[in-house]
Amino acid sequence: MPTIETGSGALYYDLCDVVPAWVDNPQTIVFHHGIAANTHIWAEWLPVLATRYRLLRFDMRGFGKSAQPQRDYRWSFDGLVDDLLKVADAAGAERFHLVGESIGGTVALACALAAPRRLLSLTLSNAAARGGLVANVKGWRDVLAQEGQPGWARQLMESRFHPGASGCRPLKCYFFVITTSRYSPGTTSELGPATFRPSSSAVMSLVKLAWRARSSAA
């Protein structure tokens, strides 16, 4: 099982590299999942992209096969970006396309600000420009206290896979509900509020980044 040691726990990653030999210098796509998910959320992307790109998935700290943080671990976007870049370095990806889902998308934005020269492109799914915009986080601790991690997991599925979503077959939804239910409620309750604090400086940086992108496209 490939892991990288960070000094505060190991991170699990999976590199799918089956690009045919006739493809010169294939680029890498790095995938960052959201809270209480794992590498499997990207499984159906692999067959579509694997013959053109190296595909790097990893379990963010506290979820999947990655280490559970200690109680005194201080969550921050700086720390999450550092985790992401350490995984990319371990896979030999100096520059890469970055895809982020939910908090993984917000981390991807933070990575674009911290290390713009590392990114070839940025793709976001249901991600907020800053954590303070994620209104659902405010009620997480109440749900966890009243219904536990399983109740929170069931509620989360309604947001992650909306009713009638074509990509959420019953067995797939069941897998994610069961998997999410097994994670630590402590990690869930601490990760959301700690990383989702509003930051005016971060917002201004994102505005500048968006303006530069718009100007370049014009």
Give the mean model confidence (pLDDT) for residues 117-133. 79
Report pTM.
0.81
List, for residues 130-162, the tens digit of each pLDDT value.
554 455 666 777 777 788 878 777 777 766 666
Q: What's the number of domains the chain is made of?
A: 1
Residue type, 155: Q
**pLDDT category of residue 12 using cuts at 50, 70 and 90:** very high
Indicate which CATH number applies to the domain containing 205: 3.40.50.1820
| Residues contacting 81, CB < 8 A, separation 6+ | 107, 110, 111, 114, 115
Domain that holds residue 104: 3-217
For residue 23, what pLDDT is reported?
94
What angle is formed at CA 63 by the lines to CA 161 and CA 2, rounded to 5 degrees? 115
pLDDT of residue 118: 97
pLDDT, position 159: 66
pLDDT recorded at residue 203: 47
Residue 15 near residue 56, CB atoms below 8 Å: yes
Q: What beta strand segments (E) does 62-202 contain?
A: 96-101, 119-125
- The per-residue pLDDT for 217 is 46
Lateral strand order in the sheet of 54-58: 3-5, 10-16, 54-58, 28-32, 96-101, 119-125
